[in-house]
Structure 1
Amino acid sequence: MSSYRRRSAALTSLTVLAVLFAGGCSDSGDSDSGSDSSAQDQDSGGQSADGDAGDSSDAGDADDGDSGSDDANDEDSDTGNAAAQGEIPWCTAEALSPSLNPLDSGAGQRYAALVLTNVSDGSCRTQGWPGLMLLDADDNPIQTETIRDRSEESHQITVAPGDSVWSRLHWTVVAGDQDAPDGTCGTEPASLAVIAPDEQDFSSAEWDFGQVCGGGTIDAVALVEGSGPEE
């Protein structure tokens, strides 16, 4: 499960990225999730539109009698933190090595932990949802629709060398209206191409979970710290 194959986008068909971004990553719970793709989310590289931009509501809560020195110190501290954070680069495809670990599944539903481990020599930061594309044994893209599960908020995460972030993936193995009339679910994937938030290049992990039904639909939650649920 932990082995993976990293490829540059330049060495694969541009169709992979074209199909991925054209398919979009829809929000879970949207009535038109299959047709109303979130183009703005895709253009932002997976960044959450609801990200932490700061608590502007706190800006007028100080007492009029305060001297203002505390506010000035707070502003200096915030500025210093922002500057320090800005020096940490966004995680690239080369920095984050993907792997897939199975999670408890049942009743035709399947779950896996997509783990992205920082294999670079320095810290990097990431936030949001991974882009996904199933590939066959010849690295050709298979129909895939990634739905962004927004049950958990997106937060910016600094990933130190050797540390990981992960996203829970969910899909079904029960054929539905989006699949072939004979009850099959198309080509069995051999790998999963993963695009980190705010990136365009991808790396890939071996896929050992069989077919993905529902027209290749995979739900993904926002990346969080760690390498999966605790045992």
Structure 2
Amino acid sequence: MTRRLIACGLLVLASVTACGTRTPENAAQTLPTASSTSSSTPSSTDPSAAPPSDNPGAAGQDVKRCDSTTLKGEVAPTDAGAGNRYGRFIVTNSGTVPCTLNGYSGFQLENASGVVPTKLERKADPGPSQMTLAPGGKAAANLHWNVVPAGGEPVEGPCQPEPSKASAIPPNETAPLSVPWTLGPVCSGGRIEISAFYAA
């Protein structure tokens, strides 16, 4: 009887010891899977993608087109000969921020009575080119006209009404700026050749 009790006690003790050794092993196997799960979700991917989209986006969108509220204009003569006249229509960015300019200007001669006949013809050289005018920056467009009467224009006196200013619309805009014109009448029905703007 005593031997049976001792044998049973030894069996119980052996089973408890065996169960105790399994529990730490199971716990040790659980820990690596938890740590491997946390390391497999890198959070560095999202932050690294965000900064590149922030930096380039803001800079390109801020520069607006040059318009009549920021541009100041003048017409400066450059050459004359054999009835031909040449000049440059010069605009200056009078604003406090840069603006872009690309293309041809509108150009309508005027005087105190209203519009003066103007036939504007675009020249391909130089052609349109994108540029950014810093505050105080300048761009110019070449002008060419003649002072020789043509067709039914009078040969004595002015061939056309004499302009005192021009209404010039910047490229891709609708509101004009006023530019003084002190270079006399434009013959051939007010025909003026104009180039696209270029950096001056």
Same fold (TM over 0.5): yes
**Residue among 146, 149, 164 paired with 2:138:** 164
RMSD over equivalenced CA pairs, Å = 2.1
Instruction: Report Cα offsets for 1:72-96 as digits up to 9, x if no partner.
Output: xxxx89x94x863332101110111
1:143 aligns with 2:134: no
Which structure has the bigger radius of gyration?
2
Give the C-alpha shift of residue 131 in structure 1: 0.2
| TM-score, scaled relative to structure 2 | 0.68
Q: What's the CA shift for 1:152?
A: 1.9
CA distance in 1, matches of 2:124, 2:58: 29
State the alpha-carbon separation in 1 of the partners of residues 142 and 183 from structure 2.
14
Gaps of 5+ in 1: 1-75, 227-231
Runs of 4+ in 1 over 4 A off after TM superposition: 181-184
Say whether 1:180 aligns with 2:173: no
What is the count of residue pairs matched by the alignment? 147
| 1:90 match | 65
* Larger RCO (CA under 8 A, 6+ residues apart): 1
In terms of fraction of residues, the more helix-rich structure is 2
Unaligned runs of 5+ residues in structure 2 are: 1-51
Cα distance change of structure 1 residues 214 and 83 upon mapping to structure 2, 3 Å threshold: farther
Is 2:94 the counterpart of 1:119? yes
**Contact 2:100-2:131 at 8 Å conserved across structures:** yes
CA distance in 2, matches of 1:102, 1:152: 18
* Counterpart contact for 2:78–2:86, Cα < 8 Å: yes
SS of the residue corresponding to residue 80 of structure 2 reads: coil
What TM-score do you get using the length of structure 1 for normalisation? 0.59
Q: 1:214: which partner in 2? A: 188
Aligned to 1:110: 85
Equivalent positions of 1:32-43 (< 5 A) are none
Q: Once the two structures are superposed, what CA deviation does each residue of 1:25-78 show, in whole Å capped at 9, x if it has no partner?
A: xxxxxxxxxxxxxxxxxxxxxxxxxxxxxxxxxxxxxxxxxxxxxxxxxxx89x
